[in-house]
Amino acid sequence: MGKELQVTTIGELTEYAHGQIVELPPFAEGQPFVARMRRPSLLALARSGKIPNTLLDSANTLFYGRKTNEKISDDALEKMLGVIDCLAEAAFIEPSYRELKNAGIELTDDQYMFVFNYTQQGISQLQSFRKKQRNIKNNNDGESLE
C-alpha cells in the first residue's frame, strides 16, 4: 500500500518560505553563481500591483502564449523582459535582485531564462536542463561530451 499523506506543518511551510539554495548558470567559466531563491506566484504579484497593469498583457502572452495570427508590438520584448524583471525581483532572496542591480551586476541571458524557468517549474524540472547543458561538444573544459 502507498505512503499515507500527512498534513504539511506550518513549520515546513515557513521553512519553504525561506527559499532554496540554487545554482544558476555561471557568469563565466569558473565563476559559479549560487543564490537563495523562492518561487513567487505570478497571480499574487499581479494582485499586489508588483506587475504593473501595463505589463499584464505581456505577462499573459509570456505565460499562456499568443495566437499565431496576432501581431507582436514593437515593444513586446521590452515588456516581456519587464515581467521577467518583476519575477527576478520577487524570486531572489540572497543576494536580492536589487543588490545585484545596485552592484552593477547584469544577469546573463542564460541566467534570466533560468530564473524564469525556476519560478515557473521549480528546481526539479531544471535538472534535465543542467544535464543537457553539460553534454555539449567542445564544452571548454577539454572534454568533448556527446
- Say what the pLDDT of residue 26 is: 95
Which phi and psi (to 5°) does residue 85 adopt?
Answer: -60, -45
Please list the rounded mean pLDDT of every run of 10 residues in the chain (146 residues): 88 90 93 94 80 64 55 67 88 96 95 90 58 44 42
- Say what the pLDDT of residue 48 is: 83
- Say what the pLDDT of residue 121 is: 82
What is d(CA 43, CA 106) in angstroms, rounded to the nearest whole number? 26
Instruction: Give strand pairing partners of 23.
Output: 34
Q: What is the pTM of this model?
A: 0.69
- Say what the pLDDT of residue 59 is: 61
What is d(CA 80, CA 59) in angstroms, rounded to the nearest whole number? 7
- Say what the pLDDT of residue 21 is: 94
Residue 46 vs residues 50, 56, 69, 113: alpha-carbon distances, Å: 6, 7, 27, 20
Which three cell numbers mark 117?
A: 524557468
